[in-house]
C-alpha cells in the first residue's frame, strides 16, 4: 500500500516545483541530464548524495533534483537516510512519524512507509524517528532489502546521507549503492576538508559519480 501525501505545517520552498521556468530550475535540469548520462553509461539506479561538512545544501539540492527526474515521468524514490538530522520531509511538507527507521527495525513495511508527494511519480521515504544507533541500522541487512525493493519498483532511488567528515554513514551507504555524489558549497567548505572527504570515500572504494558545486557565483566560473 502506497500512502498519499500527508501534510504538516512546516515546509520549505522547492524552486523546481514552484518556479518551473526559473533559470535555477533549468540548472537543476542540466544537472539531471549530466547524471542521467552517467546512469546510462554505468547502469546506475541507486545514488547517494553526501557532503564533506554540514550545511552545504545537500538535502535541498537533491529534493529539487528529484522533482526534475519525476517531471520526466520517471518513478522516483527519495530516501532520507540521514537518521541524525533529517530534512527531506520539510521540503515536501510531510510528517515524519513513520519512515526508514521503522522499516529497518521491522516495525513497518516498505510499501506502507513510502509516501506519494504532490509531484506525480515522486515518492518519499522519510527518515522516521531518530534511532539510538543510526550507523548500525544503515549497515544492516534490512537496508539492503530496502534498496532491493526500491530498485524493483522505481526507476531511480536517491538517498540523502550525512556528511562524510561527521560520521561513517555515507561510506556505508555508498558501498551498497551504485553511485555517490558529493555536494560542495562554494565558500563554505575548505580544500583540506573536501580532499579529506574524497580520500575517505576512495579508501572504501566507493564509486564517486560526480561532484555538485552548490551556491557558486557564476562570475567566478568565467
Q: In what order do the strands lie in the sheet with 76-80?
A: 3-4, 115-116, 122-125, 76-80, 156-160, 46-51, 179-185, 208-214
Which stretch of DSSP H or E encloses residue 198?
helix 191-203
Question: Do residues 113 and 95 touch, judged by C-beta distance below 8 A?
Answer: no
Choice between 12 and 37, residue whose per-residue pLDDT is larger: 37
Residue 164: closest CA among 150, 149, 175: 175
Query: Is residue 189 very low, low, confident or very high in pLDDT (cuts 50, 70, 90)?
Result: confident
Q: How far apart are CA 108 and CA 203, in angstroms?
A: 34
Q: Could you give phi then psi for residue 112, rounded to 5 degrees?
A: -90, -5
pLDDT class for 195, splitting at 50, 70, 90?
A: very high
pLDDT digits (tens, 9 = 90+) for 151-163: 999 999 999 999 9
Task: Note the pTM of the prediction, 2 decimals.
Answer: 0.90
Which pLDDT score is estimated for 214?
A: 79
> What is residue 8's predicted lDDT score, i.e. its pLDDT?
40
- Among residues 194, 176, 196, the alpha carbon closest in space to that of 185 is found at 194
DSSP string, 130-172: PPS-HHHHHTSHHHHHHHHHHHHH-SEEEEE---TTT-SHHHH
φ and ψ of 100, to 5 deg: -60, -40
**45 pLDDT band (50/70/90 cuts)?**
very high
Alpha-carbon gap, residue 100 to 88, rounded angstroms: 12
> What's the mean pLDDT when you consider all of the chain?
89
Alpha-carbon separation of residue 78 from 1, 86, 96, 215, 220 (angstroms): 17, 12, 14, 22, 32
Cα gap 112→197, rounded to integer Å: 35
Domains of the chain: 3-215 (3.40.50.300)
Q: Who's near 219: CB < 8 A, 6+ residues apart?
A: none
- Amino acid 116: pLDDT: 96
pLDDT of residue 11: 45
Backbone angles phi, psi at 157, to 5 degrees: -120, 125
Instruction: State pLDDT tens for residues 80-139.
Output: 999 999 999 999 999 999 999 999 999 999 999 999 999 999 999 999 999 999 999 999
Q: Rounded to whole angstroms, how far apart are CA atoms 122 and 9?
A: 20
User: How much of the chain exceeds pLDDT 70, in percent?
Assistant: 91
How confident is the model over 57-77, as pLDDT tens digits? 899 999 999 999 999 999 999
Amino acid at each position: 500500500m502506497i500512502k498519499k501525501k500527508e501534510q504538516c505545517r512546516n515546509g520549505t520552498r522547492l524552486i523546481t516545483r514552484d518556479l518551473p521556468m526559473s533559470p535555477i530550475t533549468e540548472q537543476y535540469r542540466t544537472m539531471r541530464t549530466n547524471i542521467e548520462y552517467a546512469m546510462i553509461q554505468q547502469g546506475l539506479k541507486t545514488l547517494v548524495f553526501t557532503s564533506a561538512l554540514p550545511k552545504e545544501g545537500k538535502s535541498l539540492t537533491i529534493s529539487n533534483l528529484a522533482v526534475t527526474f519525476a517531471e520526466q515521468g520517471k518513478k522516483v524514490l527519495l530516501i532520507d537516510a540521514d537518521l541524525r538530522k533529517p530534512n527531506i520531509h520539510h521540503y515536501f511538507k510531510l510528517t515524519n512519524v513513520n519512515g526508514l527507521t521503522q522499516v529497518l527495525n521491522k516495525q513497518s513495511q516498505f510499501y506502507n512507509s513510502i509516501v506519494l508527494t504532490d509531484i506525480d511519480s515522486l515518492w518519499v521515504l522519510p527518515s522516521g524517528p531518530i534511532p539510538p544507533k543510526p550507523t548500525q541500522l544503515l549497515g544492516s541487512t534490512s537496508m539492503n532489502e530496502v534498496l532491493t525493493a526500491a530498485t524493483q519498483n522505481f526507476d531511480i532511488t536517491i538517498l540523502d546521507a550525512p556528511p562524510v567528515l561527521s560520521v561513517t554513514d555515507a561510506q556505508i551507504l555508498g558501498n551498497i549503492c551504485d553511485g555517490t555524489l558529493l555536494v560542495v558549497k562554494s565558500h563554505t567548505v575548505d580544500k583540506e576538508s573536501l580532499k579529506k572527504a574524497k580520500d575517505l570515500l576512495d579508501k572504501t572504494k566507493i564509486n564517486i559519480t560526480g561532484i555538485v558545486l552548490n551556491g557558486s557565483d557564476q562570475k567566478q566560473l568565467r
